[in-house]
Structure 1
Amino acid sequence: MTRPIGALPCEDCRADIPADAFLDYVTPSAFRTDFRPERNDLDTIGRMSTRTVATLLHGGETADIGNVRVRRGAGVTIMQLNDGPEDDLGSAARFAVVEAQDLGVPVPPANWITELQGTQAVDPDVARNPGSGGRWAVEPGSDARFGLIAKKETDALYLEMMSHDPRLTLLKVARRGMDSHLPTRAAAISATQMLVQRAAIDLDVSSDEFEALEPRLRDGRPMLQVADALINGSGLSRRLGTDTSQGRPQIVDLIRSVVEDRGGGRWSTCSRSTTKASTRPGARRRATDASSATRTVRTTDSWIGGLGCPTSAR
């Protein structure tokens, strides 16, 4: 896929995205090694890569139940993006390669030297290292910089909050920018985790069968996303979107059970489960501000309550 020539509209906010804002990503088909052992020092602190989960929504059937719009029978393309470690300025450095021909491949056991036909993508620091002894013949003008991407197609279920009390900041669920607010975003992630746990109990499956995706804005409305963990789907998201005997999607009944069933049993610890959900591995990276823990719990209650209420009045 090539870069767009002109600006393209964003499917969520409908604003134009300039062509220079698009970045190049590559799906690796193989990895190479020189078969030389490296020194593994446990005390050496490496640099973490900047990883992002992006989703591409596919259309599905909608069902409006009270204050929530359920998009069911839909699909999603989940993209795991890796932009490499951060540089000294805090920006993702991405990955750099050059095209080079390997002129000195050792052949065991006699350590003969042979050549590999064709060019390969090699780290510039390795290809241009004077200590390589002229092993690499670098193609002029072949420098490239990109990120890595892994994609999968699966089934998903989307929950849009149609309206809410304007005094609440439930719209600020973006990762960064003007529509970003850490406690609100952490609360939306916790709400997604709570629904995943409740759905796993109801369907008698492991919560790992679901993938709690990051919240997003869609046409100016906040939206939670739940997908099947298996490639091409496992049918669980579709099951949650099917109508029950009451004529509404099963996920709506689960939302109402979280909101209304506070009298005892396992849901008597609902206020504590919010904090537990935010400490799960997938949510810990996004809700690390300890000072906002109380606001996160309260906003999560507003999130779940807003989805479960028949109207926007709270």
Structure 2
Amino acid sequence: MNMTSRGPFPATRMRRVRQSDWSRRLVAEHRLGSGDLIWPWFVFDGPGVQPVPSMPGVERLGIDQIAGAARRARELSIPAVAVFPAIDPKLKTDDAAEAINPDNLVCRTVAAIKAEVGEAVGVICDVALDPYSSHGQDGLVRDGRIVNDETVDVLCQQAIVQARAGCDVIAPSDMMDGRIGAIRQALDQSGFSQVQIMSYAAKYASAFYGPFRDAVGSSGNLGSGDKKTYQQAPSQSDEAIHEVALDLGEGADSVMVKPGMPYLDIVRRVKETFAVPTFAYQVSGEYAMIAAAAQNGWLDRNAVMLESLLAFKRAGADGVLTYFAAEAAELLES
């Protein structure tokens, strides 16, 4: 970038264009709108709502709340919602069989969304086994190890049942090797060539996921275990580029970086390297820090919320999965 084209002070006064609101808006390099937001939902099989204590302001939605939440997303011009289930612990097994039940909580949630708003709101479904497994891992466990290829076979079945329910975007978050290509082939062979794949291509073994695991009820199952044998180490940057390249080569339509703000450098590298639809997930720990600080009066919730979301756009993200989606959209559209 050539930074020598302007003259020195006082011929150049950088503050000139900052003096008025209209001028600041006119020269804005990046803009945030409701169309940049994806709203993650936690759902449970029951009536009403359940607060998530570690995420102030976030609630699990009962199955009777889905239609109303879908209407709200449509009214706020939020393009898509992402569904994450908190399933009955009695349904969790070592083989995560509930993940491929065509009448499971996610499939019924997807059907309810589509029945209410049709194609006005896209539906993104997580593909991974951790909400359904008794051990809390994203894959099948054999002799203490997470096995890759057997897990991918189950993920393909999971993707197909979600597509049959009406899911628009399959979002594999498991980080098994080769799963994007296998899922793409399985979807195509089952008549779902129109269903997109948004790959969690650069997903890190992060400490920022704690509140999410509370919300879906997997933290107790995982116990003292971790996911470091398949999620990336926070030290890795080049490795993320290789992961993204592999997933794009296997047929991913878009890619995601997770977590978000601690990895904005990765968002930038991915966007500049591949120029493909790139998303970031402002994860539960990021949300919880802002929400808790605002709750204590230490931060202005609305101002920090919008500033943090704009940072994703500035880094190159085409959109952001954020638990702030509904309240941010209300502010942005008002």
TM-score, shorter chain, exceeding 0.5:
no
Q: TM-score, normalised by structure 2?
A: 0.23
Q: Which has the higher helix share?
A: 2
Q: TM-score, normalised by structure 1?
A: 0.24
* Structure with bigger gyration radius: 1
Q: Which has the higher strand share?
A: 1
